[in-house]
Amino acid sequence: MDDLRWPDLARDLDTYGCALIPGLLSPHGCAEIAGWYDDAARFRATVVMVRHGFGRGEYRYFAYPLPEPVAGLRAALYPPLAEITNRWNQVLGEAARFPADHAQFLDRCHAAGQTRPTPLLLRYGPGDYNCLHQDLYGEHVFPLQVAVLLSEPGRDFEGGEFVLTEQRPRMQSRVEVVPLRQGDAVVFPVRYRPVQGGRGAYRVALRHGVSRLRAGRRHTLGIIFHDAQ
């Protein structure tokens, strides 16, 4: 984490609404985490997307206690992201601030009844996709989240690009496609980000998803910092 260039990541989030972290996990670490998918004891719930109109594919929510390195990544990524989100709230004139320590933020979630862990492992096969959505699980929402690609494009799967759309007021939506390799992570907003306009900062809403997988199998680790009701 000490090697990450957070000023550059913050600039990309401000400018494009997402930021790429190359090689956050090693190929060995990616393979290990992807291999957990069939170990049901690690998870609290499984979602088959087609049953809910979310797309096609599956994902599983980890149970507490979170395994390493999932817990370690969640705790280590949170503090610098909290600095960015607090700056965003200040720019937008919002009073809410996030504590510097992730455990303190989780205490806030749990006091409001949001006690279920939200980090998840996603698996896609041929023809699977994830509809554009936002990961909101209760009153307390941390504004940024992280997705780590655990599979290698061109070797493990074809298609399945990470897609981010930005819905700008009175303008056509803007699309960002993030080119991820195995072990790369993308940081992006859960629901909105500030944009500077002629009359000051305003909110633009974002949604994210995954395009149709054409072949193979794709695994992703999702790190969401607020817990669910």
Q: Which residues contact 114 (CB under 8 A, 6 or more apart)?
A: 137, 138, 139, 140, 226, 227, 228, 229
- Which pLDDT does position 53 carry in this prediction? 96
- Which pLDDT does position 8 carry in this prediction? 96
pLDDT of 182 higher than 90: yes
User: CA dist 82 to 10, 69, 70, 144, 218, Å?
Assistant: 11, 20, 18, 8, 29
Residue % of the chain over a pLDDT of 70: 100
Average pLDDT over residues 98-113: 98
Quick: pLDDT tens for 53-76.
999 999 999 999 999 999 999 999
CB of 202 closer than 8 Å to CB of 169: yes
pTM metric for this prediction:
0.96
pLDDT band for 171, please (50, 70, 90 cuts).
confident
- Share the mean pLDDT of the chain: 96
pLDDT band for 1, please (50, 70, 90 cuts).
confident
Residue 12 buriedness (CB in 10 A; 0-12 / 13-18 / 19+): middle
- Which pLDDT does position 168 carry in this prediction? 79
Residue 50: which of 119, 131, 120 has the closest Cα?
131
- Which pLDDT does position 30 carry in this prediction? 98
